Each structure stands twice: as C-alpha cells, then as structure tokens.
Structure 1
Amino acid sequence: MSRLANRRILVVEDEFLIAAALCDMLEDASATVVGPATNVRDAMILLQEQEVDAAILDVNLNGAWSDPIAEELRMRRIPFIFTTGYGADERTTRFEARVVAKPYTWEEIDDQLALALLDRCQS
C-alpha cells in the first residue's frame, strides 16, 4: 500500500499538463486529490472548504508567489512541499519546506511528501 493512501493532498499548480499528471500520480497512489488550484485565491478557498492532510505547492503561480498558501498551511501545521523550476531559494528556507525541482519523478514527489508528513508527526 502506498504511503500516501487515503491522504487528502492539495495540489497547487498553474501548468495544466503538470497538474493533470501530478493528480493522476496521486490517484494511482490511492491519495485523494484536493484541487488542483491554479492560483492563490482558489487554493485558499479550497483550504477553507476541504480537509487537507498535506499539500504540493508550485512556488510561482503565473507570476505570483505561493507564499500566502504556505503561510496558511504552516499556521495550520499542515505539511507541504514546494515544486519549482527555479531551484531552492529563500522561500524554501523561510518556510523550512522540502523542495522538489522540476522536472520531477513520482518517486521524488512520493519521498518528499512522505518525509514532510513524517516531519509533522515528529514535531
């Protein structure tokens, strides 16, 4: 059984094909996908309306940083990982978040998300 089975994962990604592939991978791992959201506003609405166990956030959403979402997740103690084509930066350091560089593999997403969930359990 997948480490992400029965987990509700918020997906925040502005590139349609990347979001679709990521959602497919999560569903294949028996996770429940929340979203995907393509912008900060929609992600914040989903967080208000849905239960979420963890999240995958694209750092840059059509030119807007995903920082407000990361702040909300951190405040709620919901683990998350960043995905980015830009590499790690001060955001990943500031939020003490794991980062997966694009293009990524399912194994990288699965490993880092599972570690983020484990980090929450240990803190």
Structure 2
Amino acid sequence: MRLHDHPRVLLVEDDLRLGYELSDALEAAGAQVDGPYTTLSDAMSALAEDFPDFALLDLNLGGQDSLLVAQDLERYGIAFAFYSGATDAGTQRKIDGAPFFHKPLDPAALLVAIDDATRH
C-alpha cells in the first residue's frame, strides 16, 4: 500500500532496531518519518518543534509511558495510535478510544490507519 499525500509521521519507539525497521517500512510506503524517538522527553521536544500528521507511540518507553505525548496530540487534534507488546487492564482503560496495535506490528494495518487518518 502507498500512503497518499506523504504524511509526516512522528515515531516514538524505545527499541532502536524496531524503530528503524518501522521507519524504513513507513518511508517505503511514502511517509516522511520523524524519529524514532526513544524517550518521553525527546518525543515531547519533537512534538513541540513541529506537528506531525500522525504519530505512532510505543506505549512503554523504558519504564515511562507515552500518555503525555498522546494527551498533547489530542489537544492539537493530531491523529495517533499506540502499540505495545503487552498491556494490562488499567493501561487499556487509559488509552480507551485510541487505535491500538499489538507487537509485532502488522505494517499493512498500520498503513491503513495512517492513510485513513491523514487523507484530505
């Protein structure tokens, strides 16, 4: 699948290997990728610097969660999705309503979500 309009995607992932794999897949589909950012502070700084069209947030960033980034994205009306290898019921309630993908991530499903959220 090819993304329309070359959306700018903020990628937040604390595993650099996985982050670069995701970045390559997104770029191959036509996205402009900002990241991967591995820490909450780096992700918040990147968001303050330039707004993306979409954000993909690893839920767990080395012991911190990415919910603060998600709150800012919501505040600015920017579409986003979470993904993680595991979630508990409490975390699932916190992210209720946001798209959620389980690791390993299915790139095709992610591309559909990005395209739907960024199509003008």
Structure 2: runs of 5 or more not aligned:
none
Mapping 1:101-120, distance limit 5 Å? 101-117=102-118
Residues 4 and 24 (structure 1 numbering): CA distance in 2 closer, same or farther, change over 3 Å? Answer: farther
Given that 1:39 and 1:61 are in contact with CA atoms closer than 8 Å, whether structure 2 keeps it comes out as: yes
Q: Tell me the TM-score normalized by structure 2.
A: 0.88
Residue 93 of structure 2 corresponds to 90
Aligned length: 117
Shift of 1:4: 4.7
Residue by residue over 1:50-107, the C-alpha shift from the partner in whole angstroms, topping out at 9 and shown as x without a partner, is 23101000011001010100000000000000011114711220xx210010012211
Q: Secondary structure at the match of 1:113?
A: helix
Residue 2 of structure 2 corresponds to 2
Percentage of identical aligned residues: 33
Structure 1: runs of 5 or more not aligned:
none
Given that 2:7 and 2:118 are in contact with CA atoms closer than 8 Å, whether structure 1 keeps it comes out as: no
Q: Tell me the TM-score normalized by structure 1.
A: 0.86
Residue 72 of structure 1 corresponds to 72
Mapping 1:24-35, distance limit 5 Å? 24-35=24-35
Residue 56 of structure 2 corresponds to 56
Between stretches 47-56 and 7-16, larger displacement belongs to 47-56
Between stretches 2-11 and 75-84, larger displacement belongs to 2-11
Residue by residue over 1:1-47, the C-alpha shift from the partner in whole angstroms, topping out at 9 and shown as x without a partner, is 72354100000000111101000011101110011111110011101
- Whole-Å Cα distance in 1 between the matches of residues 110 and 55 of structure 2? 11
Given that 2:11 and 2:55 are in contact with CA atoms closer than 8 Å, whether structure 1 keeps it comes out as: yes
Residue 44 of structure 2 corresponds to 44
